[in-house]
Amino acid sequence: MKFDTPAGENAIDQLKVIGKPVDRIDGKFKTTGTAPYAYERHDAVANQAYGYVVGSAIAKGRINAIDLAEAKAAPGVIAIVTADSAGKLGKGDMNTAHLLGGPVIEHYHQAVALVVAETFEQARAAAALVRVDYARAKGGRFDLKEEIKTAPLKGENSGEGSAAPPVARIGDFERAFAAAPTTIDATYTTPDHSHAMMEPHATIAAWDGDRLTLWTSNQMIAWGKSEVAKTLGIPKEKVRLVSPYIGGGFGGKLFVRADAILAALGARAAGRPVKVALQRPLIINNTTHRPATIQRIRIGAGPDGRITAIAHESGSGDLPGGGPETAVSQTRLMYAGANRLTSMRLAVLDLPEGNAMRAPGEAPGLMALEIAMDEMAEKLGMDPVAFRIANDTQVDPEHPERRYSQRQFIECLNQGAVRFGWNRRNAKPAQVRDGKWLVGMGMAAGFRNNLLMKSAARVGIDRKGVVTVATDMTDIGTGSYTILAQTAAETMGVPLDKVVVLLGDSDFPVSAGSGGQWGANNSTAGVYAACMKLRESVAQKLGFNSADATFADGKVRSGNRTADLKDAAGLSAEDGIEYGDLGKKYQQSTFAGHFVEAAVDSYTGETRIRRMLAVCAAGRILNPKSARSQVIGAMTMGAGAALMEELAVDTRFGFFVNHDLAGYEVPVHADIPYQEVIFLDEVDPISSPMKAKGVGELGICGVGAAIANAVYNATGVRVRDYPLTLEKHLDRLPPMMA
Ligand code: MOS
């Protein structure tokens, strides 16, 4: 189905099942431990052996020699894979470094060997006996602050998402900034972050002749299938990926990682199935992370609070061949202003590979931009909500002929302000005390683009009238199973318990997959398209005119004729959604207002969040319960980014020091207070037949800055370097009253 004109009234608008806060249909499997995750597929294939990964002990250099004699002689060892024995390996288009290193080492903990043994313990013990003789290269580049000084401008590599050029200029920024009566010029930094998903990257690999099956944990099945084929140098048709349950991805499982490739190589070497989970202490340096940024923002405005000049220049680093963190993307789109400059610089760093994590681009970009907006509002003597409203735009400021399909940004801010009691905020910082606590309120705007991606599905009907949906879409904990079932139930006119959804198998039609908050809108639209095609066949088979047949209550009706849907048993249809140029004609984005109350201990400097509110405008909300869960989870990640998450870089040896869940701090329940989420009543007929948009990543975008602004309002101390840990403001806190 081609979607190239705005959606009219359609089957989804019945809203019998769609739009209802139904429970997650996979919930009971998750809570009873019966949802099989990749590493637990004991039943998938017999005779599984265990692989244990050896990671490089240096960041940059070469392997002189590997001595495997002791390891090979250890109890239970079946095979050992190294670059020497693996045969010629390619590299996936989406991996910057090789997933099996040697003799050249590109980053710390790059895999250099896989030891396969009868048990996990034997594999681990033998891995400790692998002796690697390294030659550490001089001149490793590990310090972003140093390397960014000479780094060139660089745009985004990948074609997915909106194009991000190295520089975008509109008008004359320098002149307008020099002429503006009120300006700020400040630099903000965000550190390297790790996805820290619960389920490690894990794969069971089995060869059947030249056919490879991988039970794995991956967000993007079709990408994964072709990347595995490319890396191993085998035809795509010979590879099958199965990934029905995923214990969190956050961008860390968008791409095939070492577990999948090494399991395949290990299984080939061992002559039997092999399972590999990346060990937790290896994951952080072996896989990808969100790159640190250094962001300079300059804003100039007139006395009326209108922005006349805005510049956002971001620097980040990556391995050779990598790409920049696109932290300036939202600044090109969010606020009006005639004179604009955005740019990105990319330093070459020999740290592990940087890549997408939890709303790449906008999440770290808004952490900087929305503090800058708060600082600017204060300089102008304006309320931060009013300042943002004064600079709203209904068109893409770089391309004014492109309107937003929907932009209810002002409504988000206004509703949020009322709901949160924003009028009780004292605009002067450090004025409100509650015992030893300094208390403040802050807000920030949320913004995340809505991407259109092709997505297909197959739908069939059986003798009991059960509708089965099959698509390679994944559910990374987001609720895909549930909203796809709701879509099929709505479109085919059956109750939710008459729908079965099968996901995450590369034998199924190719979906949009899970990433960049594009999963929900596109994959449901794909199921809608397949259902509409199935309705045609059903109508034809049962002798109805499909144009006036209605599907409801398990029946097909037209005029005074009625038939049972199950009379069409055996029919199935495959179709998908494809987009015309609506996505180019209109700017499609999602919007939020984030509001936070925070308290800072005036003795210790410790920050506690007291209340959080997000008001979101994100098209039709397909399931308010799962959407709310997405947003409160995202707000929690925003709290992590604001207050605690940080990979500590060892700039001498080039690795992330705190590479486990003890050292990499994330929020726990006790850190998260009352959270409220409001969705505006919105449908966007330009987004898809579902009239929905993504919402998961919107929930994180802006949260970090809202917290930072609340902390500033509490203390009067402006911190511009994340995370806002206590030592960054402790010695500047206002003195306690007697
Ligand atoms: Mo997302 S960081 O694109 O999985």
- Furthest CA-CA distance within the chain: 86
Q: Residue 659: is it exposed, middle or buried by C-beta count within 10 angstroms (0-12/13-18/19+)?
A: buried
Report the SS3 class of residue 332: helix
Q: Which CATH architecture has domain 11-35+453-578?
A: 2-Layer Sandwich (3.30)
Q: What is the pLDDT of residue 735?
A: 84
Report the SS3 class of residue 543: coil
Q: Output the CA 35–ligand 1 centroid distance in Å.
A: 23
Q: Output the CA 518–ligand 1 centroid distance in Å.
A: 9
Q: Output the CA 409–ligand 1 centroid distance in Å.
A: 23
151 vs 599: CA distance, rounded Å: 39
Please report the atom of ligand 1 found closest to the CA of residue 252. 4
Tokens of 353: 């590979």
597 phi and psi angles, rounded to 5 deg: -115, 130
Tokens of 623: 């399931």
Q: What is the pLDDT of residue 156?
A: 87
Please report the atom of ligand 1 found closest to the CA of residue 356. 2
Query: Which mutation among 358, 475, 522, 700 tests ligand 1's pocket best, with the greatest number of atoms within 8 A of CB?
Result: 358
Residue 238 region by backbone torsions, left for phi larger than 0, else alpha for psi between -120 and 50, else beta: alpha
Asked whether the beta carbons of 169 and 311 are under 8 A apart, the reply is no
Residue with tokens 């740019």: 343
Q: Output the CA 283–ligand 1 centroid distance in Å.
A: 17
Tokens of 9: 């009234």
Q: Where in the chain is the domain with CATH 3.30.365.10?
A: 11-35+453-578, 44-138+199-286, 405-449+585-732
684 vs 589: CA distance, rounded Å: 10
Q: Output the CA 255–ligand 1 centroid distance in Å.
A: 10
Asked whether the beta carbons of 501 and 611 are under 8 A apart, the reply is no
The answer for residues whose C-beta is within 8 angstroms of residue 639's C-beta and 6 or more apart is 609, 612, 667, 671, 672, 703, 707
Classify domain 405-449+585-732 at the CATH topology level: Aldehyde Oxidoreductase; domain 4 (3.30.365)
- The pTM is what? 0.97
629 vs 738: CA distance, rounded Å: 44
> What is the β-pairing status of strands 674-679 and 607-617?
parallel
702 vs 642: CA distance, rounded Å: 10
459 vs 533: CA distance, rounded Å: 9
Residue 639 region by backbone torsions, left for phi larger than 0, else alpha for psi between -120 and 50, else beta: alpha
Closest among 398, 391, 363 to 170, alpha carbons compared: 398
525 vs 379: CA distance, rounded Å: 46
Please report the atom of ligand 1 found closest to the CA of residue 359. 2
* Count of C-beta atoms within a 10 Å radius of residue 668: 10
How far CA 22 is from CA of 18, 46, 126, 244, 677, in Å, comes to: 9, 38, 49, 21, 17
552 vs 730: CA distance, rounded Å: 63
Q: What is the pLDDT of residue 584?
A: 86
Please report the atom of ligand 1 found closest to the CA of residue 219. 4
First-to-last CA distance in the chain?
A: 71
Report the SS3 class of residue 509: coil
The answer for residues whose C-beta is within 8 angstroms of residue 46's C-beta and 6 or more apart is 273
Q: Which residues are catalytic?
A: 697
Q: Which helix (H) or strand (E) holds 36?
A: none
Residues flanking ligand 1, CB < 6 Å? 219, 249-251, 254, 356-358, 360, 515-516
390 vs 336: CA distance, rounded Å: 9
Mean pLDDT per block of 10 residues along the chain (738 residues) reads 96 97 96 95 97 98 98 98 95 94 98 98 98 97 98 79 84 98 98 97 98 98 98 98 97 98 98 98 98 98 98 98 96 98 98 97 98 98 98 97 97 98 98 96 98 97 97 97 98 98 98 98 98 97 93 95 97 97 92 98 97 98 98 98 98 98 96 96 97 97 98 98 98 82
Tokens of 629: 């869960």
Q: Residue 71: is it exposed, middle or buried by C-beta count within 10 angstroms (0-12/13-18/19+)?
A: buried
Tokens of 694: 């993504």
361 vs 351: CA distance, rounded Å: 19
Q: Which helix (H) or strand (E) holds 282?
A: helix 280-286
Q: What is the pLDDT of residue 362?
A: 97
550 vs 535: CA distance, rounded Å: 9
Report the SS3 class of residue 10: coil
Tokens of 311: 């510049």
Task: Name the residue with the closest Cα to ligand 1, atom 4.
Answer: 251
Please report the atom of ligand 1 found closest to the CA of residue 253. 4
Residue with tokens 């190589």: 265
Q: What is the pLDDT of residue 737?
A: 65
Q: Output the CA 184–ligand 1 centroid distance in Å.
A: 32
Q: What is the pLDDT of residue 162?
A: 52
Q: What is the pLDDT of residue 519?
A: 98
Tokens of 508: 């199924």
Residue with tokens 């095979």: 79
Report the SS3 class of residue 248: coil
Closest among 451, 519, 523, 524 to 489, alpha carbons compared: 524
Q: Which CATH architecture has domain 44-138+199-286?
A: 2-Layer Sandwich (3.30)
607 phi and psi angles, rounded to 5 deg: -100, 135
The answer for residues whose C-beta is within 8 angstroms of residue 601's C-beta and 6 or more apart is 436, 437, 438, 607, 608
Alpha carbon of residue 214 to chain centroid: 23
276 vs 297: CA distance, rounded Å: 44
Query: Which mutation among 158, 194, 254, 475 tests ligand 1's pocket best, with the greatest number of atoms within 8 A of CB?
Result: 254
